[in-house]
Amino acid sequence: MPNSAKPRVLTGDTPTGRLHLGHYVGSIENRLRLQDQYDCFFLLANMHAFTTRPDRHAEIRADTIEIVKDWLACGIDPSRSTIVLQTEVPAIAELTWYFAMLLPFNRVMRNPTLKDEIKDKGLGDTHSFGFPMYAVGQCADILAFRPRWVPVGEDQVAHIEMCREVARRFDITYCSVDSKADDQDFATLGGVFPIPEVMVGRVGRLIGTDGKQKMSKSLNNAIFLSDTPRQVKKKIGAMYPGQSRDPDQPGDPDINPVFDYADIFIKDEAFVADLRERYRKGDNLGDGHVKAFVIDAVNELLDPIRAKRAEYEGPGGDDTVIDIIRTGTAAANEVAEETLYMAKDAMGLGFGERTLEWE
């Protein structure tokens, strides 16, 4: 069972699709490493999925369950970590409101990650009013658990910085913490919210199979953890190597995204260094050969994940996942409610506490 004496970690994923290799190297590896030392909370940001696709509710529900299967398949262990369903943690929605008042509107809209998403996802100026709210909501996702660390990919660093700003502003405004205090002292000086720290993964931004944008669930450029060996072969096989060349012509590995994958997924560094050298010289090394090595390495990583995932794919698998979600969310609500009432007390809103019951 989660151990509340340990410092906490909070991170999560939006159920807008299944998990991909970018999630793995950007955040999941860190989550797996932190599970023993920290009290980890992993959030299914299903409310945020509605900010870009309110009409695709059936998909959001299916993806919520699939993402938990991906987590379990990777080794996230619900007996050590807490799996949290955002829409059943009312404290998060309530904190979002209070935090929205602590952030200037233009500060939110200038957030570079939001701007990139508006561009990359083709949201233009027709995105919903709720879309930028997710950035404020994410501050509440995190701070509801008062974590020490937030393991994420590079694109989230701007969001975490905003979350740190909200935490500071709250503590200064409502808890009389000195505005010049050091971040690490906010909690001991009486702040409700410790200032959380970002932890970026081994690869902060894995490029997609398009060789251009970051690998993303919504950009059709992802290799999913649940892809079959055939799908992996097809996706990597179709990657544009950044140049056209013959095996005996010199090439530039540095502009070939397949080499990015080679660096990240082939464990033998000397072997990859040799591949690069041969590619550079035109030493009888075709793009197909490089891809074949990368395909093998990716499949080697995914094979045990596929095997574990299969345990949840049969009859009863979804029910098992739903039980895990319910148990985790009940435990998460204890922490989030405690935080909410600490915050409300500080804001002069302490008129007695409710109890949440979940049938």
Q: Provide the binding-site residues for ligand ATP, judged by CB under 6 A.
A: 13-14, 16, 22-23, 26-27, 152-153, 155-156, 203-206, 214-218
What letter does residue 155 receive in the DSSP assignment?
A: G
**C-beta closer to ligand ATP: residue 217 or 344:** 217
Nearest approach in angstroms of CB 214 to ligand ATP is 4
Look at strands 82-85 and 8-13 and give their pairing. unpaired
Report, in angstroms and rounded to the nearest whole number, the Rg of the chain calculated over CA atoms: 22
**C-beta closer to ligand ATP: residue 185 or 263:** 263
Nearest approach in angstroms of CB 305 to ligand ATP is 16
**C-beta closer to ligand ATP: residue 66 or 171:** 66
Nearest approach in angstroms of CB 258 to ligand ATP is 16
Residues with Cβ within 8 Å of 166's Cβ and at least 6 positions away in sequence, in order, are 99, 102, 103, 136, 139, 143, 193
DSSP code per residue over 225-250: TT--HHHHHHHHHT---SS---TTS-
Nearest approach in angstroms of CB 206 to ligand ATP is 4
CB atoms within 10 A of CB 99: 23
Q: What is the rounded CA–CA span in Å between residue 204 and residue 298? A: 18
**C-beta closer to ligand ATP: residue 23 or 291:** 23
**C-beta closer to ligand ATP: residue 27 or 35:** 27
Single-letter amino acid code for the residue at 214? K
**C-beta closer to ligand ATP: residue 215 or 331:** 215
Q: Residue 207's closest CA among 233, 234, 240, 251?
A: 240
Nearest approach in angstroms of CB 14 to ligand ATP is 4
Nearest approach in angstroms of CB 144 to ligand ATP is 17
